[in-house]
Structure 1
Amino acid sequence: MTVPVIVAGAGPAGLMLAAELRIAGVGVTILERLPERTGESRGLGFTARTMEVFSQRGILPRFGEVETSNQGHFGGIPVDFGVLDGAQQAAKTVPQSTTEAILEGWVRDLGADLRRGHELLSVDDDGTGVNVRVRGPEGEQTLRCDWLVGCDGGRSTVRKACGFDFPGTAATMEMYLADLRGVDLEPRMIGENLPGGMVMVGPLPGGITRIIVCERGTPPQRRTGPPPFQDVADAWKRLTGADISHAEPVWVSAFGDATRQATEYRRGRVLLAGDSAHIHLPAGGQGMNTSIQDAVNLGWKLAATVHGTAPAGLLDSYHTERHAVGRRLLMNTRAQGLIFLGGPEVQPLREVLGELVAYEDVSRHLAAMVSGLEITYDVGGGSHPLLGRRMPRLALRPAAGTTRPGDTTAALHAGRAVLFDLRDNPRLRERAAPWTDRIDLVTAAPDDDAGPVPAGLAGTTAVLVRPDGHVAWAAPGSHDDLPMALERWFGPARR
């Protein structure tokens, strides 16, 4: 039996992709090597963009009360993210383990087939499908799928087995990360440099303290497991003079500053997403968030391909759009690494950048870069300011006699494209009617009582929003007319 899609890896990217596919009605099997979740949390919190992604699928309430903040940094230099007008605040203290547990519960609710303890051994793409050799509790077996997506991390078996090029730079140093109990340390911001390196201290829920230790001149090690906690304590003492060897380590990890990106995100019937496609220094919490957003960009395009409704080139637009995002991610994380890991020779640069962030335009630029809010896709020419950007949350007043979502974000819960008719234009809806098997029509005026219209929407009469939340067409201001835009993104009109 052939499965439509196999996703290798049950991390945030793999789980988010599986959910997007299930929402679109595509059968998906997730293969995860580990028999259970590790409970480790390299990532903490979500960027504003990921908060928007979770909101548009209606799963943010699953996280309960989320602490948010407008305070961020670039290379350890504080940046006020409140300068981003209308942006949702970022979540600061949600451990990655919690994110994975919630996404896994959501995926299971959606009916995905999650198989833990299944290690992918080999891949064979024969052009009509993909054979995947797997070792699981029942022994070795071969599974066949129409499409395979590698979401199996920086050491991706899928990427290596299928010969994806992964150029970049190898790690030049090693850093430690540890979550500790039973230790009382004063908070230290990332970027607080010491003569021999850099340390960070931050409180986590449940009485846990997170530390990061970077001792300059420490070469990367070839490890098959986590480093001994005593190595972390010794490095901490050399840098700070304090003894933390009495602390109880919850978990310990080592990481480096390797920076690599796959040259292509698709080869035949195999695709890559998340850390399988790009690795980098963890700076600003961008890795997990970019991986989740890779999955949201890919999900609806792969689903349309499986259903046979995708126009030519739609699946390839995943690489076009997300490779550029990944390239920029690697650029900014390398820049941040130079700033907060460099020695005294970098101090003049820190001081200059510290002066520059006092200018609102500079803060807005850096905040948008780190949060992902700057992302704009090429969706066709035009003058409308929202073309290619994410649709901001707009409160709606439904037309008389209709029951519609209360805002544009809620209208995206179903994972379908939405055409918002904001001026009750029957002609507009008539022209979109041949695509209503693939898009939803929402006729509703902006709710003026809910506050000012978000920037970029003033005077807008209609907006076509892709399933991933990005604006594909808007009136007035798009060069293409509505049927051209619908055909470009959702295929030919229904006969």
Structure 2
Amino acid sequence: MTEVLIVGAGPTGLTLACVLARSGVSVRVIEAAAGPQAGSRGKGIQPRTLEVFEDLGIVDRVLANGRLAMLIRSTGLDGSIQESGGEPRAKRPDTPYQSSLITPEWRTEEALRLRLAELGGAVEFGTALTSFEQSDDGVSAVVVKDGAPETVDARWLVGCDGGHSIVRKQAGIAFVGETLDEMRMIVADVEVDGLDRDAWQMWRHAEGLLTLCPLPSTDLFQYQASIGPGQDPSLELTNLQATLVRRTGRTDIRLHEPQWVTLWRANIRLVERYRDGRVFLAGDAAHIHSPAGGQGMNTGIQDSYNLGWKLAAVAQGAAPALLDSYEEERRPIAAGVLALSNARLAQTAADKGIPVRSDAQTQQLNLNYRGTALVWDDRADSDRLRAGDRAPDATGLVTPDGVRRLFELTGRGQFTLLNFGSPVQAGIRTLQVDPGSQVGDLYGAGDRTLVLIRPDGYIAAISDAGDLDAVLRHR
């Protein structure tokens, strides 16, 4: 029996597959499409997601095909030009990646597929889920490839199959929200003549915004043009070119035939629940966002990062109740991200331009699981680092192998105990840390502090009183 059957091989499904395969959990990944998807789609990778990719061993590949801190050049309604970004933020010891990365989504998927192959897995393209039934012991799914049905028995089924998820529909899980037909956008990948690739160009116009973003590691730009009521939604090159000329006032910029093009409509939806028995939902199957703020793909990747270590733990003998925490932790995150994306979408419509402000919220660095069932601490000060927060990185950690970054020594599918006091026997990976070090400062540690970091980089427990038993109960 396969431990986990994953439906959908986008970034969400591939991340989950990599997390599970790294932990030795048997997994099958099926994808109805005949091959990898085309298109830049979700092109922004937030700093928190880059931390996930570092842990999975693909961050160098992703960075090599992307561009950090891209310069944004915006032309206003009055023709004035403003520039922002373009320079990486000042380095911080607690955050290894300070800026968002621009890279085509297909490049992200490529890096994840390569990593999955290194871990012994592969995507079964052209294989569609048609139905499933579940029992107390597992899920029996019927999949079809080349017209031939196959029954797949798995302990769990995870729907990572997007907004039109067949898993969600067959599980009978409501997808609550709305479709805003009046808010549409043409998105295309095109070659462009007459425009430098030094910046993401944005033009505000009375009829709507238009942007051209150079896609690193390609010769293409991503073209985006808002389409209001009564405006032409045609995906033909002639309409894309005419819209560009009207909104930019420039006839020297010429588009080539799109290599990929779609008409996006604003769907804003969130599932009522993330789980039905042995069936789980992640990514766009569970929540659909506007692209404003670059949150959707990143939230899906982190859904999988959360669910993956828990499925692996239960597959290896942990209590099945651990899986109940997935919805408790991730659904409020999705609701908050939807609110952020909605606010940015409204601002986009009002300003006829894309908001470019970036902070810890959009970078997903301050998302937390405080107050949920899996976390505990004996700290009372809410302004301090608490259980449920993202564990900060730190530099200058002295080890027998030399001076290392903290993130180089945590994660990889395991819990990590930071011990700032006398040596202890914890039975898990333990780092002995000087409370007077940079690590101690960032964690607000005293000479008895214990900090338990989960496999997904969040703090499971903190005790300033050195209560080892209480801390270890939360692993």
TM-score by length of 1: 0.81
Give the corresponding residue for 1:260: 269
**Is the Cα–Cα contact under 8 Å of residues 397 and 439 in structure 2 kept in the other structure?**
no
368, 380, 405: which one aligns with 1:407: 405
Give the corresponding residue for 1:158: 167
Post-superposition shift, 1:238?
4.7
Cα separation, 2, equivalents of 1:278 and 1:81: 31
Query: Are the structure 2 counterparts of residues 367 and 308 from structure 1 closer, same or farther at C-alpha, using a change threshold of 3 Å?
Result: same
Post-superposition shift, 1:137?
3.0
Give the corresponding residue for 1:195: 206
Question: Which 5+ residue runs of structure 2 have no aligned equivalent?
Answer: 74-81
Query: Are the structure 2 counterparts of residues 332 and 91 from structure 1 closer, same or farther at C-alpha, using a change threshold of 3 Å?
Result: closer
Query: Are the structure 2 counterparts of residues 233 and 72 from structure 1 closer, same or farther at C-alpha, using a change threshold of 3 Å?
Result: closer
- 2:468 maps to a residue whose letter is L
In the alignment, does 2:432 pair up with 1:443?
yes
- 1:31 maps to a residue whose letter is I
- 1:380 maps to a residue whose letter is W
**Is the Cα–Cα contact under 8 Å of residues 193 and 340 in structure 1 kept in the other structure?**
no
Give the corresponding residue for 1:177: 187
Give the corresponding residue for 1:493: none
In the alignment, does 2:225 pair up with 1:204?
no
SS at match of 1:20: helix
In the alignment, does 2:456 pair up with 1:468?
yes
Post-superposition shift, 1:405?
8.2
Give the corresponding residue for 1:359: none
Question: Which 5+ residue runs of structure 1 have no aligned equivalent?
Answer: 355-362, 491-495
Query: Are the structure 2 counterparts of residues 83 and 329 from structure 1 closer, same or farther at C-alpha, using a change threshold of 3 Å?
Result: farther
Query: Are the structure 2 counterparts of residues 147 and 376 from structure 1 closer, same or farther at C-alpha, using a change threshold of 3 Å?
Result: same
Give the corresponding residue for 2:471: 485
Query: Are the structure 2 counterparts of residues 188 and 68 from structure 1 closer, same or farther at C-alpha, using a change threshold of 3 Å?
Result: closer
Cα separation, 2, equivalents of 1:398 and 1:9: 42
**Is the Cα–Cα contact under 8 Å of residues 89 and 99 in structure 2 kept in the other structure?**
no
Query: Are the structure 2 counterparts of residues 456 and 412 from structure 1 closer, same or farther at C-alpha, using a change threshold of 3 Å?
Result: closer
In the alignment, does 2:151 pair up with 1:128?
no
* Higher mean C-alpha deviation, range 285-294 or range 386-395: 386-395
Give the corresponding residue for 1:368: 360
Identity among equivalent pairs (%): 32
**Is the Cα–Cα contact under 8 Å of residues 200 and 213 in structure 1 kept in the other structure?**
yes
Post-superposition shift, 1:227?
3.6
Give the corresponding residue for 2:344: 336
Post-superposition shift, 1:415?
1.2
Higher helix share goes to which structure? 1
Give the corresponding residue for 2:78: none
Alignment RMSD: 3.3
Post-superposition shift, 1:124?
1.4
Query: Are the structure 2 counterparts of residues 170 and 219 from structure 1 closer, same or farther at C-alpha, using a change threshold of 3 Å?
Result: farther
**Is the Cα–Cα contact under 8 Å of residues 395 and 447 in structure 1 kept in the other structure?**
no
- 2:471 maps to a residue whose letter is A
**Is the Cα–Cα contact under 8 Å of residues 35 and 117 in structure 1 kept in the other structure?**
yes
Post-superposition shift, 1:196?
0.8
Query: Are the structure 2 counterparts of residues 485 and 455 from structure 1 closer, same or farther at C-alpha, using a change threshold of 3 Å?
Result: closer
SS at match of 2:153: strand
- 2:109 maps to a residue whose letter is E
In the alignment, does 2:236 pair up with 1:249?
no
Give the corresponding residue for 1:36: 35
Give the corresponding residue for 1:389: 389
**Is the Cα–Cα contact under 8 Å of residues 127 and 144 in structure 2 kept in the other structure?**
yes
TM-score by length of 2: 0.85
Aligned length: 450
SS at match of 1:368: coil
Post-superposition shift, 1:308?
2.2
* Higher mean C-alpha deviation, range 193-202 or range 232-241: 232-241
Post-superposition shift, 1:126?
2.6
Give the corresponding residue for 2:369: 377
Post-superposition shift, 1:104?
0.3
- 2:469 maps to a residue whose letter is P
SS at match of 1:123: strand
**Is the Cα–Cα contact under 8 Å of residues 81 and 367 in structure 1 kept in the other structure?**
no
Cα separation, 2, equivalents of 1:220 and 1:300: 47
